[in-house]
Amino acid sequence: MSKEITIMDALISLRPNVKWSMHNMDYSTIQWLEAIQTPPTEEELNSEVIRLQAAEAAAQQAAETHKQNAISKLSALGLSADEIAALGVK
């Protein structure tokens, strides 16, 4: 199951040590609770959301590929589908 990436995730990614608050995931409501050199623009946040979504999708694809490789290797060793499932690999 994929994690929904939001502008909150983008803010944390772009400015990890800065305190802020926001209402209803709305860029215009962001309040910076401490001075920062340069707040990210809405465009920068949207670009970071897209980048984080792509990274999440790639990680999920890699995990699925590793799982399928493991199933193939276990099958090649002679384990049945039921035996592989009993190991918790589905």
What tokens were used for 77? Answer: 């060793």
Where is 7: in which H helix or E strand? helix 7-14
Determine the pLDDT at residue 1: 59
For residues 82 and 88, give the distance between their C-alpha atoms in angstroms, rounded to a whole number: 10
Determine the pLDDT at residue 48: 97
Quickly tell me which residue has 């803010």 as its tokens: 11
Is the whole model's pTM more than 0.85, yes or no?
A: no
pLDDT along the chain (90 residues), means of 10: 87 92 93 86 96 95 94 93 88
Indicate the DSSP class of residue 29. G
Determine the pLDDT at residue 36: 77
Determine the pLDDT at residue 37: 76
Determine the pLDDT at residue 35: 84
